[in-house]
Amino acid sequence: MLTKFNFRSFEFRKMTLEEFLSLPKQCRYSFVIEFGEFLSSRKLDGEGVAKLFWLEAFYAEMYFEAGKDLPSELRAFEATKGLIPYLREIDIKDVYK
């Protein structure tokens, strides 16, 4: 079960990555689900899926084990380098026709 948290102090401005990382783990999950903009998902080696969210000031990637509704892990980052696994999945060959 995800933890309920009062995010009112962050509603009218962007939360920084540092503020986000200072939240308790379960609150980070809740914050991503409530305020994150879903961008993409990718299959993980073995079973499971990673879902990418944008939170204005940073990205968050939530990992889900196969058959589970709740995330098992979360990674947050600012650098676009973390988007590479998702960019590799985009097929742009039709753009060059």
Q: How many domains does the chain have?
A: 1
Q: Does an H or E element contain 20, and which?
A: helix 17-22
Indicate whether 5 belongs to any domain: no
Q: CATH number of the domain at 66, please.
A: 3.30.67
Residue 83 to residues 23, 49, 73, 92, 94, Cα–Cα distance (Å)? 23, 15, 17, 16, 21
Q: Is the pLDDT confidence value at 95 over 80?
A: no
Indicate whether 28 belongs to any domain: yes
Indicate whether 2 belongs to any domain: no
| pTM reported for the whole predicted model | 0.79
Domain interval for residue 83: 13-96
pLDDT digits (tens, 9 = 90+) for 52-69: 999 989 999 999 998 888
Indicate whether 57 belongs to any domain: yes
